[in-house]
Structure 1
Amino acid sequence: MGLKDLSVIIVNYNVSYFLEQCLLSVRKAVRGLNAEVFVVDNNSVDGSVEMVRRRFPEVILFANQDNLGFSKANNQAIRQAKGKYVLLLNPDTVVEEDTFTRCFSYMEQHPEAGALGVKMMDGAGKFLPESKRGLPTPWVAFSKVFGLAAMFPKSALFNQYHLGHLAHDQTHAIDILAGAFMFMRSEALQKVGLLDETFFMYGEDIDLSYRVKQGGYQVIYFPETRIIHYKGESTRKTSVNYVFMFYRAMMIFAEKHFSGRQARVYSFLIRLAIYLRALLAIVARGVKALLPLLLDGLCLGLGLFAGAQMLDLPMPALQSKTWITYFVVWLGAALFSGAYDPPTRLYRLVRGMLVGSILIMAFSNVTNAGFTQKKHLLVGVLVGLAAMTGWRLFWHWTQFGHWRFGEPKVKRIAVVGSQKEVTRAGALLKQAGAHAPVAQFEPQYTAHDLQQIKEVIQIHRINEVIFCGKDLAVSQIIEWMVQIHNSSLEFKILPENSAYIIGSSSKNTRGDYYALHIEVNLLNPYHVRNKMVLNSLMSVGLLLLSPVLIWQIPEKKQFFKNCLASLVGLYHWVGLKATATADTRPAILSPADQGRKKGATDATARQMEVVYAKDYTAWTDLSIVLKNLSRLGRSV
C-alpha cells in the first residue's frame, strides 16, 4: 500500500464537462507527489469515458456497465489503490495547485489525523457551510429539521450540523467531512473498513467519518487550501425523490450506530422530517406551478368586474358552476396554448384567451345567453388580458432587467486571460448562441490586477466573468472570485483546451456550461405536458378496456397497479430506464420495447433512449404501448 503518496479517486456519472475541468486541476495538483488518479464511471452516456481516454491517458479508468452508486464505485478503486493516502473527490470540483501537497504535509505532521477536509467555495466564491459538520445526533437533527440551525447559524447549541460557531479560516477537529473531498489515511481505512455499500447515495460520508473517529483518529477541517465545489446535484434537493433518498440514508445511519431510546428518538425525527420535507416539496412544486394560473384567474375576475363597471352593468347573476366553467375554459385554453411555458411569449396567451372566448361564446349561444352578457364577457376578457400582460411584464423586468418578452437577461461578459484564450472563449460563446464578451482583461500578475478587474466590472456593468484556466492558476481564480463576488455577478471558467465554459451562480443552482445547443423534445414543456395528459388518458382507456385486455396480460395484479400509478402520475407508461437518474420517474416500458424484439443490449437500449428523448412525440408513447399490450403488467 505504500508504493504511492496519494491515490485520487473520482466517481463520475454523466458530468463529462465537470469531470474534464476537475481532472485538469488534479493533473496540476499532483505535481510533486508520487500519485495515481482513478476515475470510476458509473455507466455514463454523455461521452465521459471517451473523453477520459482521449484527454487523460494517465488516469486509471473503470468503465462500469451499471450505475453502482457512490459507495461501491469508490470501493472498487480503493481496493486497487496503492497510495499512503486516499482522496475521494467529486467530479464537480476544482482544486488549487497546492491543495494535495498541503493536505499531504499536514497529514504527515499529524499522525493522529485519519481524515481531512478542506475549505469549499461555491461557484460564486462563497463559503460552503458543509465544509465542516457535526454528528447528526437526535438534537442536531431536530434543530436542522425544524429550522433552528438556519435561524441561529452561529449558535453552538442550535447549529451543530454545520458547526456555525467554529471560524471558517481556522483548523479544527470536527465530526463529519463532506463526501466531495475526503483526504484519508489508508491505514485508517484498513482499520475501520471501506465505505458502507448499504448507502447507494448520500450518508456514506457521514458513516465513514463517524467510523474514522470511532477508530481512534481525528477528523480535521483544514482551511489552508480551498476548492470550488459546483454542487452539481443541489437543485434536486427540492424533489421528493431527493428527500426520500437522503433521509433514508439517515435512517440507515441511525439503525447502524444508535441503539435504545436514542435510536427511537432519531428514527421518529427522521420519519417526521421525511414527511415534512416531502410535503413541503410537493406544496412548493404545486404553488410554483399553480401561481401563474391563479394570478391569471384573479386578472380575469378583476377584468369581468371592471367590464361591468365600464358598461354600467350589474355583474350577471350566473350560477357559480357557470363561472367556474368559464374560468376553466379560459385558463385551460391558455395552458394548452403554451402560455405558461418558458420563455414567455405573449402571442400564446392571446391565442389561448381567443380560443377560450370562442368556446365560451359558442357555449353561450347554446344556453341562449343575451347580447349584454356576451358583451360583458368580451370586455372582461380584454381587460383581464391587459392585466395578465401587466403582471408578466413586471415579473420579466424583475428577473431580466428589461421589458422584452422572450429575451433572457442581457449578459455583459468579461473574459480574463490572454488574447488567444479570450478569442477562443468568444468563439465558443458564439457557437453556443450566447452573448459575445463586452470586455476583456489580460492580467499582468501584479498587485494591481484585482483593482483593475473591479474597475472593468464597474465601468462595463459586467454581470458575468469568465476566467481562462490555461492562463490563470486555480488559486488565483478562487481568490479573485472571493474578493469581487456580489449577488449580481456570476463566474465561469474556460478550462484549457476544453469546449465547455463552466460555472454556477450559487450552491443552490446546478452547475451549468456553455456548449453547442441540442434540442431535446422530452424536456420541452409542450411535450412534457402532452406526455402527462396522454399518460393519464391511456390509463383511463386501459382500465375501461381491461375486461378484454386482461386475458393477454400475464401479470394481472401488477397491471392494475400500473394503471392506477400512471393515472395519478407516479409512473410513466413509457420512459427512460437504461439512462434513468435518481429523479427520473419510474417507467413500465422503454424505447427499447419498440417493435416486439426482446433482449436489446445495454448499449443499444441507451442509444434508443437518446434518440427517443431527442425526437419525442406523444405518438411515440402511444405506438410503443399498443405494440406491447402483453407487457403492461411489468414491474417498474
Structure 2
Amino acid sequence: MAQINISIVIYDNDVNEIKKTIQSVLNTELDIRLYLIDNSPINNLKVLSTDRRIFYFFNNRNVGYGSAHNIGIKHSIEEGAKYHIVMNPDITFKDGTLENIYAFMESNRDVGSLMPKVYYEDGSLQRLCKLLPTPFDLIGRRFFGNTNWAKRQNESYELHNFDYNSILNTPCLSGCFMFVRTEVFEKSGLFDPRYFMYLEDYDLTRRIHGVAKTIFYPEVSVIHGHAKESYRNGKLLRIHMLSAVKYFNKWGWFFDNERKALNSKVLRSIEK
C-alpha cells in the first residue's frame, strides 16, 4: 500500500477543534503519516502528538502557511511517499473518505491534485471551484460585494452555473484540502514562500495544472469551518491584499493570455 503523508499547519489553535481533525485523519487503514507543523510562538500544541503516526514540528515562529506546509511536503518527497495531503486544521470528514480518494487517484494517473466537495458546518456548499482570478474579481468581492456589478462578477468567478455534481478539471481550487500526487511537485515546485498567507493555493494549483489535471471530485465531501477572517481582521486584510499584489505581479494583472485561455476552457467544459 502506498504511503500517504498529510501536513496540517497550526497556530495557537483550539486543541479540542484540532483533535476532531486529527481523529478524522487517523481513522483509516491506509499507511499514513501526519505532520503537525506548528507556527505558534510556544509549543503548547505538542500535546496533540499522541499517536505513533503523528510527527510534530515546532518552528518557534510564524513562517507562513505555504512555507510551513513545504516542510511536510519535503519530507514526503524525501521519504518517497506517493501522495501528500495539504489540509487545514478545521477540516473533518467521515470514515472512508481517504480510501475513496486514494482509490480514485490510483485509477486516474493523469490527475495531479484533487479537491473533494466541501461544506460549511451548517451543511451549505462552499463554492471553491473558481476561474483564475482577475484583479476585478478580488476587488469586487472584497470592497463592492453588495453592488450588482460585483455580484455578477462574483457569480462568473465562482462558477455559479456549475452544479458541483460532476468532476471538473480547473486550475483554481482551494487549498483547504489538496490530495496531491507527490511526484508532481518535482515538476510544479512547492508552495511559493513569497506568499505569507492567501493565494498561495491558487498559485500552486495553477502550476500543478500545467503538468497534470487538477480536479474537483464530488464523490466524497469534507466539512470546513471556514471563517473568512480577512473580512473582519484588518491585519489579515492587509496580508490578503499584499498576497494579491504578489500573485498578479507574478502572473499578470490585466494581460494574462494563459488565464484567458484556461478560464475559457473551464467555461466550455461546464457548458457541455
CA distance in 2, matches of 1:228, 1:149: 31
**Cα deviation, residue 45, structure 1:** 4.2
Within 5 Å, which residues of 2 pair with 1:103-118? 103-118=101-116
Match of 1:349 in 2: none
Match of 2:62 in 1: 67
Match of 1:21 in 2: 20
Match of 1:545 in 2: none
Residues 108 and 17 of structure 1: is their aligned pair in 2 closer, same or farther, counting only changes over 3 Å?
Answer: same
Match of 2:202 in 1: 206
Q: Relative to total residues, which structure has the larger helix share, 1 or 2?
A: 1
Matched AA of 2:255: Q
For residues 185-243 of structure 1, the C-alpha deviation after alignment (integer angstroms, 9 at most, x for no partner) is 1111111101000011111101001111123x111011111111112x53442222222
CA distance in 1, matches of 2:58, 2:229: 27
Match of 1:253 in 2: 247
Secondary structure in structure 2 of the residue aligned to 1:129: coil
Match of 1:242 in 2: 236
Matched AA of 1:68: V
Is residue 178 of structure 2 the alignment partner of residue 197 of structure 1? no
Is residue 53 of structure 2 the alignment partner of residue 76 of structure 1? no
Contact 2:42 2:60 in 1 (8 A): no
Match of 2:214 in 1: 219
Contact 1:140 1:159 in 2 (8 A): no
Match of 1:230 in 2: 225
Instruction: Provide the TM-score with structure 1 as the length reference.
Output: 0.37
**Cα deviation, residue 120, structure 1:** 1.1
Match of 1:185 in 2: 181
**Cα deviation, residue 151, structure 1:** 3.0
**Cα deviation, residue 137, structure 1:** 2.5
Within 5 Å, which residues of 2 pair with 1:111-510? 111-130=109-128, 132-138=129-135, 140-141=137-138, 144=141, 146-147=144-145, 151-152=151-152, 159-215=155-211, 217-231=212-226, 233-258=227-252, 262=255
Contact 1:144 1:159 in 2 (8 A): no
**Cα deviation, residue 262, structure 1:** 2.0
**Cα deviation, residue 44, structure 1:** 5.1
CA distance in 1, matches of 2:72, 2:11: 15
Contact 2:6 2:72 in 1 (8 A): no
Match of 2:261 in 1: none
- Identical pairs, percent: 24
Runs of 4 or more off by more than 6 Å in structure 1?
A: none
The CA RMSD measured in Å over matched residues stands at 2.3
Residues 230 and 141 of structure 1: is their aligned pair in 2 closer, same or farther, counting only changes over 3 Å?
Answer: closer
CA distance in 1, matches of 2:150, 2:225: 22
Instruction: Provide the TM-score with structure 2 as the length reference.
Output: 0.84
CA distance in 2, matches of 1:251, 1:236: 16
**Cα deviation, residue 165, structure 1:** 1.2
Match of 1:40 in 2: 37
Contact 1:14 1:46 in 2 (8 A): no
Matched AA of 1:39: L
Residues 57 and 108 of structure 1: is their aligned pair in 2 closer, same or farther, counting only changes over 3 Å?
Answer: closer
CA distance in 1, matches of 2:169, 2:198: 22
Matched AA of 2:8: I
Contact 1:144 1:161 in 2 (8 A): no
Residues 102 and 208 of structure 1: is their aligned pair in 2 closer, same or farther, counting only changes over 3 Å?
Answer: same
CA distance in 1, matches of 2:160, 2:116: 16
CA distance in 1, matches of 2:238, 2:44: 30
Q: Would you say how many aligned residue pairs link Structure 1 and Structure 2? A: 250
CA distance in 1, matches of 2:192, 2:137: 23
**Cα deviation, residue 158, structure 1:** 5.2
Task: Extract unaligned runs of 5+ from structure 2.
Answer: 257-272
Secondary structure in structure 1 of the residue aligned to 2:63: coil
Residues 175 and 107 of structure 1: is their aligned pair in 2 closer, same or farther, counting only changes over 3 Å?
Answer: same
Of 84, 88, 112, the match for 1:86: 84
For residues 465-495 of structure 1, the C-alpha deviation after alignment (integer angstroms, 9 at most, x for no partner) is xxxxxxxxxxxxxxxxxxxxxxxxxxxxxxx
Q: Which has the higher contact order (CA 8 A, sep 6+)?
A: 2
Match of 1:306 in 2: none
**Cα deviation, residue 124, structure 1:** 1.1
CA distance in 1, matches of 2:156, 2:115: 17
CA distance in 2, matches of 1:212, 1:9: 18
Contact 1:71 1:195 in 2 (8 A): yes
Secondary structure in structure 2 of the residue aligned to 1:80: helix
For residues 484-541 of structure 1, the C-alpha deviation after alignment (integer angstroms, 9 at most, x for no partner) is xxxxxxxxxxxxxxxxxxxxxxxxxxxxxxxxxxxxxxxxxxxxxxxxxxxxxxxxxx
